[in-house]
Structure 1
Amino acid sequence: MKILDQNRAPLFEAMREYHRKNVVPFDVPGHKHGIGIPEMVDYFGRTMLELDVNAMKCLDNICNPIGVIKEAEDLAAKAYGADNAFFLVNGTTSGVQAMIMSICNPGDKIILPRNAHKSAITALILSGAVPVYIQPEINEELGIAMGVSLKSVKEAIEKHHDAKAIFIINPTYYGAVSDLKAIVEMAHKYEMAVLVDEAHGAHMKFHNELPMEAMDVGADMCAVSTHKTGGSLTQSSLLLLREGFVDAKKVKTTLNLTQTTSASYLLMGSIDIARKQLATKGKEMLDNVLNLVRWARCEINKIEGLYAFGKELVGTIGVYDFDETKLGVNVRNLGLTGFEVYDILRDEYNIQVELGDMYNILAIVSLGDTKESLGALIEALKSISVKYKRDKKITLKKSILKNPEVIVSPRDAYYSRKKIVKFEDAAGEVSGESIMAYPPGIPVVALGERITKEMIEYVNEMKKKESLLQGTEDPYVNYIKVLGV
């Protein structure tokens, strides 16, 4: 048995060895080491194209890894304190789908917060599981959903003790963390598996001043976006699992239902390198990240009209802990929406933040940030506060993220006959499509739910603010499919 040395990157090392040999390719991909697409070589570089290769014996195969991919996955499992790890090349979306499909059969109940990502909703369609939604706690001043309270989880578990699993977000997009350890202990007493969407927590394992990661508190599976905060390439992620409630063989079989048989070695190699860096240098690098984001938060809070929220929220309802690397800035006292500040930063200051919503902008601070990059954001916000400030702060209706009325399961809604109606006239209908703003990809309306007047008003407000809406066949969300003929 090989010793798992975190200083190694076995898949990436095998890719480099393949590249060194200068193999003559008569396999796919058809560009043949970039020779067939010179424009890409000129811009991206020859090495990248030469490493865009297909599965072969020396490089192993993601569908049934027994060589260097398996060794790299074992190293990832050890780094995160898991029993097994699987490389993902279709993002954490595929991990969330695999988690739910591995645990839930058609008709099985799963408890999940209403602010779950759209990947959880698509997993309900694929698995046939029936959602039992719990309401995340809402911070009305910030206008965002936080974590879930132990009280709401306990009530849902006791009312639906036949549920197969509970699904938790750790952390939320804005950094809020629920009491995951207590939730795991509670769920396991009822023999429920705990599945965790850890898309925004790839870094948390590697610094003791950050919230605890799912595997550390005994969760059964978690999907981790190494590309978001861990340094790997976009679309690359990990699925981690703990043996007990979960059968690793079934998880692998489930992944192979939806995951490509032509996995990108550039993506997989980047996971291997990112894991190596986190495991060997993560503490040092995250020390720097935390110092930078704490400085930036302090400087932003000196700017009139802005509030960069952080650890002071810990202890408020729905916030058991907080990931400081999520730099959320409440801008409503400027008299501007987050959508407006998002656009101003991009169009006038050449700064791209992660998202804007009605009240806030969100900047993700991670391994690649510097004092110069954060300084540019701070100076831009200072300028905006002077140049664009309005007298009246933004005030909207209270959040509509209350538990919706689920009429049929998302799967039944997906396969039911539908008709098209004007969205304005859809109140009372059962939705046959989802509507979500992206990012973050959290549904305002999900399949199988009763559409309410409040939902329509909220979506119309988002349309006015030019939020990027997804989910409906009509790209402008003037029409929506509902159940019926």
Structure 2
Amino acid sequence: MREEHELNQNKAPIYEALQKFRQMRVVPFDVPGHKRGRGNPELTEFLGERCISIDVNSMKPLDNLCHPISVIREAEELAADAFGAAHAFLMVGGTTSSVQTMVLSVCKRGDKIILPRNVHRSVINALVLCGAIPVYVNPEVNHHLGISLGMKREQVAKAIAEHPDAVAVLVNNPTYYGICSDLKAIVKMAHDAGMYCLADEAHGTHFYFGEDMPVSAMEAGADMASVSMHKSGGSLTQSSLLLVGPNIQEGHVRKIINLTQTTSGSYLLMSSLDISRRNLALRGRKVFRQVSSMAAYAREEINAVGGYYAFGSELINGDSVFDFDPTKLSVHTRDIGLAGIEVYDLLRDEYDIQIEFGDIGNILAYLSIGDRPQELERLVSALAEIRRRYQTDSSGLMNQEYIDPEVVMSPQEAFYAETISVPIGSSAGCICSEFVMCYPPGIPILAPGEKITEDILEYIKYAKEKGCSMTGPEDPEIEYINILKEDDHGTLV
């Protein structure tokens, strides 16, 4: 019988085990082959000996991520306690792997899942893998900002009523821009209909620790939530948490995780999750109070510049914008005659400021635990100077970020169908078999199984011209696109 551990948030069991292991000076006749850095001096010089010395393989004193029974298990228990979950899984494949695990844990081939179309590509990737059928709730759009909002309660209720055989409802909580749906109401609707509720909470780590934050997925009663600790939680890139509620069988989820996650879990990533969880549990409330305060100050200063619109809680309408993430610094740029991606490029190339992303009409400066007020002052000053130097007529700029898709078949059917490559400019009316998206944020403009329309082609062309980083298709230049093949009678092969 496994020994029970007292849940003390001051502990960091993986970090402590690695510290102990470092002191043992064990001779390595195992992988990795750099042998604590001795075999790769350039890498050791670049990353540092202290880092390389704990880039180790699974062994008895350090547990095993595929089947944790000691220090990793204890770290997961502490994470679950800190986040108010029944269980937590340490994930080293990014929140992509967490999201895919959520979908694969509750859906099988032919099952329906209700979700907004403005999901991250990882959700649709999961549908390609398992063969589930998406039932899209197309989000309401703020036409001035050109952004999609949350899922309206009425829309979710309608989708549940029309598809009572769906197995789950998936919610973005929050969106990249900080928009939150009425998560508690959606959870209740899903549970009342016998469905699971899953939350893509990639941008909501701080909801669990900050004050006056939107409700977290676990507090709202969601069954599973994917949390990007590396985004606002301070852990290393690619590290994430998967949280589950009491209605989900832990052992089943572990089996799903082990279908795709590496058997060589990185102890650098796992220890960063362990240390970051401890930091948030002990200091998160104070830290995120400061982050929210900095974001509020920055919004006020940017709006005082004129031309820009740093939007916030004034968007709340009780439904499609049920709440707003106070740490998000989302700024509408179109009114100064510049696309968001153009401001993004100017900030980086001329002011040495790297923000999270710029799209057709907005930018996002991601604020979190490592930001300082003086750097925000620099951002505000740069935006003011960009307006002074580059402001122009805004007529002719595209103002729509989201185009409702026309879904013809399931992502899995389209992805694995026989395809041909055609010039993208002549693909209107065809059915797409691959993804096209701007990254970040990684929300598909086109996904497998959707009809290509002239509006979508215009959007893709415009985004490319403005300098958006386009990803997805086999053709890296996105001059060609893969579509489903038809026979001589126009029937899909």
Task: Please give the range of the TM-score, normalised by the shorter of the 2 chains.
Answer: over 0.9
- Does structure 2 retain, via aligned residues, the 8 Å contact 1:430–1:449? yes
Q: Distance in 2 between matches of 1:79 and 1:213?
A: 12
Point out where structure 2 has 5 or more consecutive residues left out of the alignment: 487-493
Equivalent of 1:289 in 269, 284, 291:
291
Q: Give 1:462 shift.
A: 0.7
Q: Give 1:406 shift.
A: 1.8
Residues 393 and 281 of structure 1: CA distance in aligned 2, closer, same or farther (over 3 Å): farther
One-letter code aligned to 2:302? I
Structure 1 range deviating more: 284-293 or 390-399: 390-399
Superposition pairs of residues 132-143 of structure 1, within 5 angstroms? 132-143=135-146
One-letter code aligned to 1:272? D
Q: Distance in 2 between matches of 1:397 and 1:177?
A: 22
Q: Distance in 2 between matches of 1:31 and 1:281?
A: 36
Q: Give 1:243 shift.
A: 2.0
Q: Distance in 2 between matches of 1:134 and 1:175?
A: 19
Aligned partner of residue 447 in structure 1, secondary structure = coil
- Does structure 1 retain, via aligned residues, the 8 Å contact 2:187–2:222? yes
Q: Deviations over 1:301-352 (max 9, x none)?
A: 1102111101111116511000011100111111111111000000000000
Q: Distance in 2 between matches of 1:396 and 1:84?
A: 45
Aligned to 1:350: 352
Q: Distance in 2 between matches of 1:346 and 1:106?
A: 44
Structure 1 range deviating more: 268-277 or 331-340: 331-340
1:19 and 2:22 matched: yes
Q: Give 1:56 shift.
A: 0.5
Aligned to 2:42: 39
Q: Give 1:21 shift.
A: 1.2
Q: Give 1:135 shift.
A: 0.7
Q: Deviations over 1:191-221 (max 9, x none)?
A: 1000110000111110231111100010000
One-letter code aligned to 1:8? K
One-letter code aligned to 1:479? Y
Point out where structure 1 has 5 or more consecutive residues left out of the alignment: none
Aligned to 2:335: 333
Aligned to 2:455: 454
Aligned to 2:407: 406
Residues 296 and 394 of structure 1: CA distance in aligned 2, closer, same or farther (over 3 Å): farther
RMSD: 1.1
Aligned length: 483
Q: Distance in 2 between matches of 1:22 and 1:139?
A: 59
- Does structure 2 retain, via aligned residues, the 8 Å contact 1:334–1:393? no
Q: Distance in 2 between matches of 1:422 and 1:166?
A: 36
1:479 and 2:480 matched: yes
Normalising by structure 2, we get a TM-score of 0.96
Q: Give 1:137 shift.
A: 1.5
- Does structure 2 retain, via aligned residues, the 8 Å contact 1:400–1:455? no
1:436 and 2:437 matched: yes
**Paired-residue identity, %:** 51
Q: Give 1:43 shift.
A: 2.2
Aligned to 1:198: 201
Q: Distance in 2 between matches of 1:307 and 1:392?
A: 14
- Does structure 1 retain, via aligned residues, the 8 Å contact 2:168–2:197? yes
Q: Distance in 1 between matches of 2:466 and 2:303?
A: 25
Structure 1 range deviating more: 377-386 or 216-225: 377-386
Aligned partner of residue 362 in structure 1, secondary structure = strand
Aligned to 2:243: 240
Structure 1 range deviating more: 296-305 or 312-321: 312-321
Q: Distance in 2 between matches of 1:92 and 1:399?
A: 24
- Does structure 2 retain, via aligned residues, the 8 Å contact 1:336–1:394? no
Normalising by structure 1, we get a TM-score of 0.98
- Does structure 2 retain, via aligned residues, the 8 Å contact 1:303–1:382? yes
Q: Give 1:388 shift.
A: 1.0
Aligned to 1:312: 314
Q: Distance in 1 between matches of 2:262 and 2:400?
A: 42
1:88 and 2:91 matched: yes
- Does structure 1 retain, via aligned residues, the 8 Å contact 2:333–2:361? yes
